Amino acid sequence: MKLKFSKMHGLGNDFMVIDGVRQTVSLSPEHIRELGDRHFGIGFDQLLLVEPAHQPENDFCYRIYNNDGSEVQQCGNGARCFVKFVIEQQLTAKRAIRVETARGVIVPEMDLTGRIVVNMGIPRFTPQEIPFLADTAALAYPIMLSGKPYQIAALSMGNPHAVLRVEDLATAEVATLGPVLESHPSFPERVNAGFMQVIKRNEIALRVYERGAGETLACGTGACAAVVAGIRQGWLDHEVLVHARGGDLTIRWQGEGHAVMMSGPAVTVFTGEIEIGKAS
């Protein structure tokens, strides 16, 4: 099976994007793992599959897979790359696009400068919706990591996030605490682990250890989760510049009951065609 694809990134969070509208695509988890291998395949943090919409009022459906073959519900940097892809590939002439995801419908939009704004939906804090094993919702939860006590915020941005505030991001133990937090038994579906340093009330630095992918150069939903957690705890204003290792995002949130708005760039690196075997 030959597949045409684009290699893209949003602030270094990189994707293989496949058009499932104009070509037939059938991918097993093993196929995805092979394609995601940076030595023998294309290499990516996530694979994005563009499909026809299931409902006539929507424009597309898209599915998101980590490079370990697991499927996830939401990806902010991926949503921006998705918009750029369908416009570049002339799958649509629209700039505001209704897209079905496993989380629900999102409506990202490309402005005239090429910057993409995504409505990331309303964050969820109820433990059962994250999911997170706790009796009641709270601004912060105590948790033990590698035998030491920490405080985390837990929430869902369509995928589960735990946010831990650190004093100095450069020396934060992301490589050791990230996988411990990702697989902590309090998160039955694992969790994206965010490490946030507050610089000013409208500026943070962030590193994210993503479930199923490891630490990435940027995580859109992780940026949203960190800003929401910071606003709820009184550390941040309602519009925040987020410095990820791959670049900057702007996140806006007006508080409880409001959707999170994310804006940032998306870049096409190259396009190509690859033949994959009959793995299953």
Give me the active site residues, please: 75, 219
Q: Which residues are annotated as a binding site for substrate?
A: 13, 46, 66, 76-77, 159, 192, 210-211, 220-221
Q: Are strands 105-106 and 160-165 parallel, antiparallel or unpaired?
A: unpaired
Give Cα separations from 128 to 137, 164, 187, 245 (angstroms).
9, 20, 10, 31
In sequence order, the 6+-apart residues with CB closer than 8 A to the CB of 138 are: none
Render 9-48 in DSSP notation, one character per residue: EETTEEEEEEE-SSS-----HHHHHHHH-TTTS---SEEE
Q: Which residues are annotated as a binding site?
A: 13, 46, 66, 76-77, 159, 192, 210-211, 220-221
User: Under a CB-based contact definition with an 8 Å cutoff, are residues 44 and 14 in contact?
Assistant: yes
Sign of the alpha-carbon torsion through 120, 272, 31, 52: positive
Distance CA 206, CA 217 (A): 10
